């Protein structure tokens, strides 16, 4: 996929993905940036007595990988995130690789918007899924250089 995709380049069914292994550092930094210091994410002693029996990553940390795909791959630079629905299906543990995939489901030419399915998986199993609506730059409105 090229670095810049205009609305006119999109087709239903286009897909892009990005994978990242979640580290201890990712969780600590996410907690620092967001202020979400829930002990489920940061305290092993606390987490061992929960349903997961160990620390898990913040759900929104995994969901944040979707923004990487939308903003840099598909549609890519200039994309504006308008909405996102999410259903959290399973936890993400430290050391697991999360793959975020987006797929163009519908195009709305009147406003240069696209509806995309969004899913994050670990080892092929869905950990979260949803739908995003984005505004995509069009050739007709591209800024002059």
* Global confidence as pTM: 0.90
Q: Does some domain include residue 91?
A: yes
CA 129, CA 27: separation in Å to the nearest integer? Answer: 20
Per the structure, the complete domain to which residue 75 belongs is given by: 7-22+59-141
pLDDT along the chain (145 residues), means of 10: 79 98 97 97 96 96 97 95 98 98 97 97 98 94 60
Can you point out the beta strands (E) in 10-124? Answer: 15-21, 80-88, 97-108, 113-122
CB atoms inside a 10 Å sphere around CB 23: 12
Q: Does some domain include residue 51?
A: no
Q: Does some domain include residue 78?
A: yes
């Amino acid at each position: 996929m090229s670095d810049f995709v205009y609305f006119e380049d999109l087709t239903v069914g286009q897909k892009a993905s990005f994978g990242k292994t979640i580290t201890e550092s990712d969780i600590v930094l996410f907690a620092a940036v967001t202020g979400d210091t829930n002990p489920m994410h940061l305290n092993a002693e606390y987490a061992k007595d929960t349903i997961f029996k160990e620390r898990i990553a913040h759900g929104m940390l995994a969901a944040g990988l979707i923004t990487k795909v939308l903003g840099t791959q598909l549609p890519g630079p200039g994309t504006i995130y308008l909405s996102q629905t999410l259903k959290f299906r399973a936890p993400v543990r430290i050391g697991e690789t999360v793959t975020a995939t987006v797929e163009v489901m519908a195009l709305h030419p009147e406003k240069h918007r696209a509806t995309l399915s969004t899913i994050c998986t670990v080892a092929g199993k869905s950990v979260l899924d949803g739908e995003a609506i984005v505004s995509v730059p069009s050739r007709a409105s591209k800024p002059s250089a």
